[in-house]
Amino acid sequence: MESFEESDPGINALKSSGKSPFADCPTSIKGVLLVDRRVLLVKNSRDEWELPGGRIDEGEDHAETLSREFAEELSIDVTMSTHIDSYLFEVIPGRHVFIVTYGCTLAGEFRPAISHEHTEHCLWPVEWLSELKLPEGYRHSIEKWANTI
């Protein structure tokens, strides 16, 4: 996992352009939402837990992407907070995605309803993340956010 700091010129360009600094790699914006020291996760079709979020639609900034993705995937409203991390993730062998993670805060009631994009959701204690099938980059972002708030 190659990590990039927010002060990197590439990250600042990414934020303004919505494009990945890796030309062949799509960018996915992910959010870390903690509710009572538990992180909100969704399970994907590869039977892995992941952070809610997704690709940027044309004309969106990262905050709009996160807001839309949380609404679509879980029917909840969030507000984007601080940039946590950015890194290249190999989803399956030979297929990479540039991941950008942000801390999020709940902007309404917490009544998640899972969409067709995932099979289930959970609120998982941060200190038990090692028990889940969760990619290392997501774990790092969750722990980093949990240690800052």
pLDDT in tens, 80-128: 999 999 999 998 888 899 999 999 999 999 999 999 889 999 999 999 9
pLDDT in tens, 24-83: 789 999 999 999 999 999 999 889 999 999 999 999 999 999 999 999 999 999 999 999
Give residues with Cβ within 8 angstroms of 33, minimum separation 6: 39, 40, 52, 70, 78, 104, 105, 106
pTM reported for the whole predicted model: 0.84
Two structure tokens written together for 70: 């949380």
